[in-house]
Each structure stands twice: as C-alpha cells, then as structure tokens.
Structure 1
Amino acid sequence: MYNDFFGLKETPFTIAPDPRYLFMSERHRDALAHLLYGIGAGGGFVLLTGEVGTGKTTVCRCLLEQLPANVRLAYILNPKLNAIELMATMCDELGIEYDPRESSLKTFTDLLSRRLLDNHEQGLNTVLMIDEAQNLSVEVLEQIRLLTNLETNQKKLLQIILIGQPELQELLAKKELRQLAQRITARYHLRPLSLNETKSYLEHRLRIAGVMRPVFKGKAIKLIHKASGGIPRLINVISDRAMLGAFAENLHHVDVRTVNKAVSEVLGEKTDMAENGSLVNHWKWAVPTLLVGLTLGVTAWSFGLFNDAVGTSSEQQPEHIAQLADSSQAASINEQTTKVGETDESSIKTNDVAGENVRENISKTPSELAEEFWGEQSWDRSGAIASQNLLALWGVSYLPFQSPDACSFAANYGLGCDQGMTDWKFLSQLNRPANLKFTTAQGGDFWGTLIEIQDQSVVMQFGENQVMIERKKINPMWTGEYRLFWKKPAGFRDPVGIGSRGAEIIWLTNFIEMSEGITIEPDNVFSEQVADWLALFQMEHGLISDGILGKHSIMMINNLAEPSIPKLFVERLQVEK
C-alpha cells in the first residue's frame, strides 16, 4: 500500500522468510558457526536456543544452503511426535523404505542402523536436525539419545542438532535427561539484536526493497528497538505498521510519534518516549533545566571547564566502543556514540553532548554511578549474570540453572577458573576479561564484567548495559575481588615441575620450539632445561620466577600462542597501583 509513496519496489518488512532479506548479525553468524561445527564434529548433540522471533529458522535456512556435499540431513519441522512417528519421519527424510503398517521400534532402529552404516562406509555424515525441539516429550528425547549409541570404534554414526526456545534448556535440565545433557558438545543461545544492529537491520531491508535514503528518524529507531526488544520479527511488524502510519499522514520519514502509535496498535502497549511532548509538559521541565544549565555553564566557565566540554564531541569516542552498548543510561557509551538520524536532530545532539560533558565534570557518588550502570535491570548480586556474560566471550552459552557453579560448568569446555584478590596491574598482565565484585553503601554488593582496559578507562558490562568509565571513578566501588577463565592445555590438572611427564609438557616444549627454535628432547619430560627456560619467561612477564608451570604461566603463553582467545586489548596502559 505504501510502496509507491516511499519509492519501494516491494514491501520490506514482511515476516515471510525471504532469503533475499537475510540479515546475518554477528550473533547469527556465531550461531551458524556452532551448527556447522556440530555437523562436522562427528557425534553427540548440538543445541541452539533463542526467544521466539530471534531468527533461529533463518539460521537453519542458511545452514541448509551451506551443507557440505558429504552430509545427509533428516530435518524434522513438527516435533510433536511419538517415538514410532519420529523413527518413521527419519526414514522418510533419509529415503528409507518401510512398511507403512510397521509399529516396531526395533524394526525402525534396524533400518536406520543399516542406513547409517552404509552412509559411513561411503564417507557420508548423517545429521538429524529437529526444529521447535522444546515440544519434544521426555520419552522421545530419550529415544533420540539411544540413536546416538549407533557407532563404530572411531565415531558415532548420527549427529543430532536440537533447535528450540529457551524452554528447551529447562527441559534438558531434568534429572531423567541427564545422560542426554552430558552428550551435548556445543550450545549457543541466540540473543536479540543490539541497537546498532537494529539500525543496520532496518537499513538492510529498506535497501533490498529499493530505497537507499534514511526512512526512520534516529529516535524512532531507538523506540523500535526498545519496543521490540531487538527481536527481528517484532521489528518487522512494528516497522511495517509505522510506515503505513507515515503514509496515511503523508510523512516521508517515520518519527517517534508514528512509531508510538504503531507500537500501541501492534503490541497493545503505550511507550514512554515522545518526540516533542505537549507544550505544557515541555515547559514543566524546560524552565528548571534551563536555569540549572545556565548555573552549571557559569560555574564551568569560571573554572575553565567550558572549553574542554565544547572541545569533546561524541565523534572523538573510539569507533569500536560505539558498537558495544545495546541500551543507554546517563553513564552509558551508547548515549554518546550511537549516530542515527543526525540530519534532523543535529542541534539537539550538539546541546546534549555539551551538557553531558559539563555534567561529567560534576562528581557522582559510587551509589549514583552504580544505579546508572544498572538502570532498570535487576542487579547481579550472586555473579550469575556476570558469569553468563563472561563465558559468552569464550563462545560458551551458560544459563545458571544448568549449574550453580560457573567454574564447574566451564571445566566441561576445557576452561580453568582463576579467582581471588588483585589489582589493575595484574589484571592487565593476564590480559583476560574478568568478573569484578563491587560494593556501595546504599546498593550493596554486585558483579560486573571487565571487557576492556584502555589507558585510564575501562569498559564494563553490567547485565545488558556496557559502559566506559575512568578507573579512578570505579576504584572506590571495586572490592579487589575477581574471577576469570583461561584455556587449559590438554592434560593439565595441577602445577607441574621438573620430572613431570604428560601431554601438558609436550604442549610446553612445542611452544618453546615454535617461539625460540629450541628443540627439547625428549619432548614429554619436564627437564631442567625446560625449567630454566620457563623461569626466565616468568621473570620477563612479571610472574614469580619459580620454573613451575601453573595457570598464570599458561595464560601468558596463551597470550602469544592463542590469538583467538578473548583478551582485554590493553593499549598504552599507565597502571595506578
């Protein structure tokens, strides 16, 4: 209806899964990578979960287009089946003939077993993928687990991918399914789009539909993201209704007022963001704010702060920080770095940035800062949310109900856990993202995730909010307590020294040969030569020079040997002890 009005070739925001409109965010690419890994892993279960409308089916369709030639896939879309129906459907998908009147599980198991062995002998991998798997019964899931018992001496004959809503995680946490849960080799939880991704998503769909110019104003995009929660399906529904409303009012841009109406009509909700507001409400806050602003301006001028404030624009923030934050409070990065709709909001943004920078020079108590970090979120008192965010940086999907101890859970992925009391200097040496414990007089204890150290500032994540703040401002809140994860070499359990043997020694001697060109013989024995080299390495990297291979020495080696592990990206650091 509105296509000609906006110059569109077709409607951009339908909910039909048109592959031409596929938008692969970083989250969707990660999810696809997990599925592709699962197909090639050779046995076990791979789990992909996500809220309704986050794009799980989109990822599945993308996977189907990228299947290796040696894969034979059984794709089940309707999981509300009993065990017999499931086996029959698998036979249908794999082209196995059977008697339609057959009702014996043994017969179906034998048929499937023969086909799996035939595929294996031909060098083919067989994959069972079940969508909407949260609807599976416990009995059917147990039957699926039994199918993974079909194996040779080298590998399992069937790889299974389960895709479903978050309830699937709860289902698999049941005691009677613990054997299945132990066979899950990879998990990924697909999260909604961030604010920047929502903006890119809207622009992408409009571009495919034939319009290159901006259609949605900056604040309208923020409201769409807030109302939809970043869920692509809801973004489509709200955006389609908003464009229809703009067409009805002969508006060539979609503004906040139009999106407010669309949200109310689509979701039955009223939002609290307004573009202009009523004249009465405007002056209720405008006059006091003007007086306060004038007072602050005079004070800032008298202390020489005004020039600094004007000279510090939002464009001076590092570009990569602008992509971190999903939502914003007074202290969030996103408020200063997200650039949308600049054409029609430039004068407002100029005043906002100047005022924000003046306010930044006014000291805030630790409790006030902490409240800004969390906004309307529930504070993380136990550290469970921080552990979830930290493990996500390692590519591990962790939900607290899976295991109350994040360290024990991380061990399943070959990760060790390091925790205790420390300072910024040692954290920068280890160069690992870490969970930090904070406390304030009013707010009590809470946890956050340290993502980056940059000069005298740090990037922290509190729940879903990411913020940049000077270390001197966060120091009064930090208790010094930390927790981080690190990658263990194969075979490592406890610190080892002279005389030890094992896979971890081979890992160390291989690194020595790679980095120094020194051949260690035999390579599986911790000799005095190895101890001497390690002691010198420890001294050069600020560790206790004891010649014993422990977790901190391993972290330092991994900094050089493992470029893919998450790091703090410490640059130009001037450490305050």
Structure 2
Amino acid sequence: MYKEHFRLRSMPFSIAPDPSVFYMSNQHRDAWLHVNHAVTGDASVVLLTGEVGAGKTTVCRRLLVELPGHVQGVMLFNPGGTADDLLSGICLQLGMETRVMLDGDDREARILAHAAARCREDRATVLIVDEAQGLGNDALGMLLRLSRRGHEGQDGLRLVLVGQPELNEVLARPENVSFNRAISMRYHLGPLGPEDVAAYVAHRLERSGGQESLIPRRLIGRLHRMSGGIPRVINLICDRALLATFAQGRRAVTGRVLREACSEARGRLPVPVRWDRRMAWVAGACTLFAAGAALGVAARPAAVAATPVASATAASAPGVLEPSTAGLDARDPSDWPDGMAGRGSTVLAYQALLRRWDVPAPPTGVEPCTQAARSGLMCVQGRDEIEALRRLDMPAVLQLVDAKGRQTHVALVQLRKHLAVLQVGGALRTVTIPVLESQWTRHYTLIWRPPLGLQGAVNAGADGVAVSWLRDRLGQSQGVDPSRLPARLEGRLKQTLREFQALEGLPTTGVGDLRTLMHLASRTEALAPRLELRQCPGV
C-alpha cells in the first residue's frame, strides 16, 4: 500500500520468514553455524531454541537455501504431536509413496533406507523440525531412532530440532533422557541489542530500496525498548509506522507515529467509528456480504468446536455457550449495528478473534477452536460480567440477544472507560458499555495460550512443564528470580502464587486454576492481544 509513496521495491518489514532479506547479526550467525553443523559437521542432532519471533525459522530457511547440491534438506513446520503425524509429514517431504505403507514401522524403515542409500553415495539428508515443543514423547523417540545409525550400518537422518524455550522443558523429562543425551550442539537465539536493531532496520530498508532516513536513527533506542529486540515485533511496529506515515502524507516516521504503531502492533486499535443506527439496511447487508466474501467464508452459522475448549465458570454455573443464529433475518437489521446481524455473524466474529492472534481463517469444515488449537491456543467459554473480562484483558466473542430474542455474535476487541470496541470483518464499531450490557447474555468465548502439557488445574505439590511455566511467569510478573523458586508448587512458589492472586482480585487458593493461569498469561505474554489500551514500554 505504501510502496509507491516511499518508492520501495518490496515491503521491507513483512513478518513472513524470508531468507533473501536475512540480517546476519552476531547471534544469528552463531545460530546459523550451529545448525550448519548438521550438514557439514559431525553433529547428528542439533537443538535451536528462541522466543517467538526471534528469527529461528528464518535461520533454518536460509540454511535450506544455501545447502550444497549433495545434501537433501526438508523442513516440517508445526508438525502434529504424534509419531504417526510426523512420519507422514517426513514421507511427504521426501517424496515417498505412502499408500503402500502399512504401519509406522514400515515408514520408519523406508525413511532409513532412503537416508542410507544417499549416504552410500556420499549424500546427506537433513530434517528440520520447527515448532518442535509440541511433539509428544513417542514422536521424539521416533526421531531419535531415525537420527541414529540405521539401515545396514549407515548413518540415518541429520536432525535439527527448533522450538520455543519450552522445548528444553520437554527434553528434560525423564522419559526423554536418551534424546537429550543425543543432542550434539545447542544454541539459544536471544533478542537483538540496540546496535543490532539499528543495523537490522537499515538492512531491511536497504534491501527493499528504501532510505535509512524513513525511520530516523534517533528513534532506534525507543524502537528497541518497544520491541524487546525481537525481530518479528520490530517488523510489526515498523510496518504499521510506515503505513501511518504514508496515510499522513509524510516522508519519515515520527516519535508519535512510532508510539501509536507500537500500540496497534501489540493488539491495540486506532479510534474506530461509532455505531450509526441511521444507516440504511442495504448498507449493512452490503457490509456483511463484502466481509464474508473477503474472508472466504459462507454467510452461515458456524458451530464452535468442543475440542479443545475449557470452561472458566464453576460447575454450578450455566452451561457453555452454544452459538446460534436461529431466527435472525438479515433483511431486517432492526437496531443491530450495520453488518453485525444475519447468519454470518458467528463466522465473522470468530474470524475476527482468530485474527487478533494472527491465526488464519479456518478452512471449510474446520471449527474455529480446532484452528486455534493447531497454533497452540485454547478456547475458553464462560459466563461473567464485563469487568471480569476487563481484568482478564483478552479479546472475546460475545453472544448478544435483542428485545425480540434474536441472537448474534460480535468480537469484543477493546475496552475503554465507557466504551467497547467491536469488530466484524474489517469494520470497527464502538458502543457504550451500558448499551452492550443491555443486549449481552454474559456468555463469552475467548482464546489464550496455555502452558505446554496443561492437563487441568496445577495443584499443590505438582511439578513438571506446567509448574515450570508457572514459576517462570510468576517470576516475570512479581519481579522474582525464578531460579530461587521451588520446582514444585509448594513453599515460596505457592506463596508467590497467592500474592499474585491477591493482586488480581482472585481467590487466594495457591492453586493454578484455569482463571489464575489465564490472568498470569495475560500479564506476561508480550505478543498476546489485549482489551485495554496501554502505553508501550519505553515511551
């Protein structure tokens, strides 16, 4: 949109991993060298970890681009958690015919035979598994077998395991000790420092044909504080800053524009228009039709999947929300905001909620909560007051019913002091909170990112990955060194949890129940979308 205005050859701050604009910081160079040992060295298993958006995937894609001709490289992104899913993905990437394979053992043998045949010709096979923190123990065991000496004593696959820091917790489990010992090299990719942020921005602008003055050097320190040095966040902020600068007809980003871009990039929104009930119903119908067409979905009700869905209400509370648009007549908008009535409201509301988490629209036949689960997220359904949602600080889908009993669904994406901001398709509308409450049934569905391996409440005395997550997040929230907290939910860790619950206005049980964990995630996940409009850090 702003390419012509700034005379750019390409979009400089796309968040898609692109090896052609790869910036080789010292950390990224070290990460690349470690991963490259799976190709040129004697490291058969390499581990690369880093926070979301640190550049792990781009490092691996750069490696694939630069592979020598005798090396076959394949990459699986966010594979299924089971060994069977992983085997199917590997066979597909290697170009193997899978219809004749009867079981997992047969597929393992075929993969090992493929790798061994290449080894006999002095050709290697490298498998990169990205977002590996979601792999189950059986899948890790299968990868270990594939990476060890296989068919006829020849080498198996070279393996690069890539994931978020939680992957270290998965590998630390007693059942994965053999895999942990097999790792030859490890590297953690951290955030960029201030000087690297300056060089990164200049590099991206130069590769797209832009001038370094588009984002003045004096703003780089502020950008570093806003982004935490995470490349993906830098891209989000800079992209929105350039878009706003273009909209204002300017030639360089200002400090105010950068601050507003930071707020928007972190899940906040600019001031939307107010509901206008005087608009003709034709405009509303056209808005609904256009939004549905742009999203590629049919204007029909979409049931919300029951898996994986949790409930934030007590056992005695009303049942979970069953979205329905029965009885709605899109030709009669009545008092509904334009574009929000009709049988497509449920689809559009859940599409908007997924977009807040950067999750693409689900394909036909896939429920929204199933689509969320594929990205490591979880739907939670409950019944509560607006102030409880304000404290949770997470966007949600709300069920509304008018005086005639007609139902619709809207995405609540922002709360201000007296106003709520709703989104349907690409349109934003504001409504006063009393008006919203007069039509809201108190039923909601929201999305959050749970700890890896969460099976239920984290009770006193528990340990494992979920407790490690709890300890790290409590340390971050309460300003405590996590290494000084117990590995089990007891003693000081339990007391710190109670202190957090007291600050959040929650029952001080010392138990990691669903609502407590959601509050903790909301306070500590930097890239999670928010309801409250807050100032970005460092400004």
Give the structure with the higher percent helix.
1
Larger RCO of the pair (alpha carbons < 8 Å, separation 6+): 2
TM-score, structure 1 normalization: 0.44
TM-score, structure 2 normalization: 0.47
